[in-house]
Amino acid sequence: MADIVDTLTDPMNIAAVLAGGACFATVLTLAGPLLAENKLGTRLKEVAKRREELRKRSRAELARGAPHLQHKNANSFAKGLVDKLQLQKNLADDTLTEKLIRAGLRGQAAQTMFYFYRAALPIAFGIAALVYVMLFGAQLTLPMKAMAVMGAIFLGYYAPNLYLKNLADNRRTKIMHAFPDSLDMMLICVESGMSIEMALQRVGTEIATASVELAEEFALTTAELSYLPERRMAYENLARRTNHPGVKSVAMALTQAEKYGTPVGQALRVMAKENRELRLSEAEKKAASLPPKLTVPMIVFFLPVLFAVIIGPAMIQVSHMLSE
């Protein structure tokens, strides 16, 4: 026991142990980076792999026409006629793609049907107007008949654009009715620790019962966030598809939050409040415009009946007095 204690307390032995430990630590420090696994590279590869999988899945859903997307097939007769007459070249419209996207119509089939109707409706409207003036317009002069037919042709030419505009306006209205509530749900999801992609996916699923159009936009944005080279492009596409100042401000706020590192929850809270106020101001504007709109119906329908009720008995009495 005394020999063991002497050995352990011997300064030379202690110095040797310390020197050996120092040498081992030095070798481990120098050789550690060479032997260590590149965890960062592995994680980046996993992220890139996951991103590629999401991109392929999203494109596959878009290609086969997922149920939540308004992607319709063109009629074979219409497609053949458009291709044969080269209507896409002769009736080219540079803003058509933007109009179709805002109306919720996507794909080459929607463009084909638009050009088909743009060529077919003027002919159909013109023939219908010609038949009408020939059968029921005997009292009309020849210039008036020609003007009626030409007016029907112009109406048929611009009818597809009017339909798209009306469809886009109705779609934007439905989206904006549910958009402030969706921002509140996104705020809850983000503050609970979800990423913006998971929040969009979750809110899109929950908001589908209130607005199918908004759920569709969130699904598209989630898909674009997974495969577009810049996340900013996905937010800009969302604002471009909806064409509403409230969505544009939200897209800009999310872009700036990711660019400068500001909290996304704070930006969503501010944007949710602004969109609620915007929705309230639009409702107040519609309520304020209601009295002027009711003026003409009241004059045309209510006042004649009111005059008849008030003056009718007096006229009956006067007629009785005159008859006596």
Q: Are 238 and 259 in contact (CB under 8 A)?
A: no
- With a CB cutoff of 8 Å and minimum separation 6, the contacts of 196 are 186, 190, 225, 254, 264
User: How much of the chain, in percent, has pLDDT values that exceed 90?
Assistant: 0
CA dihedral 68, 69, 75, 78 (to 10 degrees): 160
Q: Report the percentage of the chain scoring pLDDT > 70.
A: 77
Distance (Å, whole) CA 265 – CA 268: 5
Q: Which helix (H) or strand (E) holds 13?
A: helix 11-35
Q: Give the pLDDT score at 60.
A: 62
**Token duo for residue 137:** 């317009």
Taking the CB of residue 135, how many other CB atoms lie within 10 A of it? 8
Q: What is the pLDDT of residue 89?
A: 67
The model's confidence at residue 66, banded by pLDDT at 50, 70 and 90, is: very low
Higher pLDDT, 10 or 96: 96
Which of the 8 DSSP states describes residue 154?
A: H
Q: Which phi-psi region, left, alpha or beta, contains residue 244 (left: φ > 0; alpha: ψ -120 to 50)?
A: beta
pTM above 0.95, yes or no: no
Q: Tell which wins on pLDDT, 34 or 153.
A: 153
Nearest-CA neighbor of 91 among 176, 156, 177?
156
Please tell me the predicted confidence (pLDDT) of residue 104: 79
Rounded CA gap, 159 and 206, in Å?
36
Lowest mean pLDDT among 69-78, 88-97, 186-195: 69-78
| Predicted pLDDT at 70 | 47
Spell out the residues 6+ positions from residue 241 whose beta carbon is closer than 8 angstroms to its own: 101, 102, 217, 220
Sign of CA dihedral 66, 71, 73, 79: negative
Both structure tokens of 307: 């005059």
**What distance lies between CA 12 and its chain's CA centroid?**
79
Number of H helices, E strands in the chain: 15, 0
Taking residues 118-123, report their average pLDDT: 85
Stretch 125-129: mean pLDDT: 89
